[in-house]
Amino acid sequence: HELEQLYVHESVENVIPPEAFVEAFDDLPIPAELVGDGREYGPTNAVATYVPQPEYLDAGWVHCIRAGYDEFDTDEYEREGVPLTNSSGIHGSTVSEVALNCMLSLARLGHRYRDHQNEREWWEPPYERPFTLENEQVCVVGLGTIGEATAARCDALGMEVVGVRRSDEPVPGVSEIFDPDRLHEAIEDARFVVLTVPHTPATDDMLSDAEFEAMREDAYVINVARGPVVDEDALVEALEADEIAGAGLDVFETEPLPKESPLWGFDDVIVFPHKGSATNRYHLDIAELVAENVERYQSGEALKNRVA
C-alpha cells in the first residue's frame, strides 16, 4: 500500500502548535489533516501523534512525535505489523542546552540570584559556593543523541567527561566509558550526573538510595531523560540528608509536578516544566523527519527511527 493521507492527531498540541505543524507539510505529496479521537484508520493512512490510541493499530504507519515512546506498547505494534517510529535524533541541541543551563546555573548561581532579584536583594553567596564547570567531572549516562550532544558541550567547556553506555565504542569528548553494570564507579567521582537514557525496565529507578550514597556530597543530578529513571522519593531524601548537593530536573514521575512535591522547595533544585525540547522551531524539526519518512515509505525504503 502507498500512503494516501497523513493524519496529525490533536494531541501534538502538548508540545507544538498543531496548525503550524500541519502547514509544515504543505509541500508533501500527500495531504495532511488535523484529527481528533474516534477516527478509523486504514493501511493507506499515516498518523503523527503525541499519545498512543488503540485505533492507530489499523493504520499503515504511526509516528510518535516524541523521542521517548515509552507510553506506546511496541509489542502490540509488532504483533499487528504496524511500523512505529519516534523522533529521536532531533533533540541533541535543544535538550542538551537545558542540561547545560542547569549545570551552569548550579555552578554559578544564576537561579539563586534570580530568587533574590525577586526580592530586589543584592545577595552575596558564601565564598566557597560558586565554582567553574571547567575541570569538573561530569558523567553522562546514556550516550545517544542527547547524551553525545551534552558530552560535546561539556568537553568544550573544559570539563572532564565520562559516560555510561552499553557498547564501549568511543564517543568524541568522552575520556572513559563505563558499562551500565559499573554505574557506581562511573558516578562516584562526578560533580554532575546527567541522565540522557530512555525510560525502560533497565533504567527504571536507575538512580536510587545506593546511587545517591555512592555519589559525592557536592554532586548534582541533572535529569533531562524521564522522571521514573530517578527514584524521586530517594532523591528527596538524599537532598534532605545532604547526601548530594542539588539537582536540575526537566522531568518528573508525575507531570505537572504536584504542588505538594518537596522538590519545589530546595534552593539548589532547578525545576524545568518538561521544556527540554521546547523551542520555536520544534514543529519544523519534527515535520522534516516525518516528511523524510513519508518519502521513504512511498519508495519502499526502511523508515528512519523505526522502534517497532
- Surface-to-core class of residue 256, CB atoms within 10 Å of its CB (0-12 exposed, 13-18 middle, 19+ buried): exposed
- Dihedral angle computed from the Cα positions of residues 266, 250, 145 and 96, in that order, rounded to the nearest 10 degrees: -60
Of 105, 145, 150, 293, which one interacts with ligand NAD (CB under 6 A)? 145
**Contact between 198 and ligand NAD per CB under 6 A:** yes
Contact flag: residue 52 with ligand NAD (CB under 6 A): no
Q: What is the dihedral of CA 213, 271, 134, 114, to 10 degrees?
A: -130
Task: Write the DSSP assignment of 54-118 as a string of letters.
Answer: GGGGGSSEEEESSS--TTS-HHHHHHHT--EE--TTS-HHHHHHHHHHHHHHHHH-HHHHHHHHT
**CA 283 to chain CA centroid, nearest Å:** 16
Interface pattern 7-46 for ligand NAD (x via CB under 6 A):
----------------------------------------
Residue 164 C-beta: closest distance to ligand NAD, Å: 5
Cα 166 to Cα 182: distance, rounded to the nearest angstrom: 10
Residue nearest to ligand NAD (CB): 144
199 flagged as catalytic: no
**Catalytic residue (choose from 226, 232, 243, 283):** 226
* Part of the chain binding ligand NAD (CB under 6 A), chosen from 88-96, 101-109, 118-126, 241-249: 88-96
Q: Is residue 247 within the footprint of ligand NAD (CB under 6 A)?
A: no
| For helices 110-117 and 92-108, angle between their N-to-C axes, nearest 10 degrees | 70
Q: Work out how close the CB of 120 gets to ligand NAD at its nearest, in angstroms, rounded to a whole number.
A: 33
Q: Distance between CA atoms of 219 and 139, rounded to whole angstroms?
A: 11
Closest by CA position to 85, among listed 116, 54, 60: 60
Name the grid cell of 180.
Answer: 551500565
Bridge partners of 178? 164
Sole binder of ligand NAD in the list 277, 282, 290, 297 (CB under 6 A):
277
- Please report the DSSP string for 222-279 in residue order: EE-S-GGGB-HHHHHHHHHTTSS-EEEES--SSSSPPTT-GGGG-TTEEE--S-TT--
Residue 255 annotated in active site: yes
Shortest spacing between CB 274 and ligand NAD, in angstroms: 6
Residue 153, interface with ligand NAD (CB under 6 A)?
Answer: no
Among 8, 32, 67, 247, binds ligand NAD (CB under 6 A): 67
What mask of x and - would describe binding to ligand NAD in positions 201 to 230, judged by CB under 6 A? -xx--------------------xxx----
**Residues in Cβ contact with 63 at an 8 Å cutoff, skipping those fewer than 6 apart:** 46, 47, 48, 49, 84, 85, 86, 87, 290, 293
Binding segment for ligand NAD (CB under 6 A), chosen from 49-57, 136-144, 238-246, 291-299, is 136-144
The one among 100, 251, 269, 270 contacting ligand NAD by CB under 6 A: 251
Q: Which stretch binds ligand NAD (CB under 6 A): 35-43, 76-84, 109-117, 139-147?
A: 139-147
Catalytic residue chosen out of the listed positions 91, 199, 274, 283: 274
Residue 95 makes contact with ligand NAD by CB under 6 A: yes
Q: Indicate which residues carry an active-site annotation.
A: 226, 255, 274
Residues near ligand NAD (CB under 6 A): 67-68, 88, 91, 95, 142-147, 164-166, 180, 196-200, 202-203, 224-226, 250-251, 274, 276-277
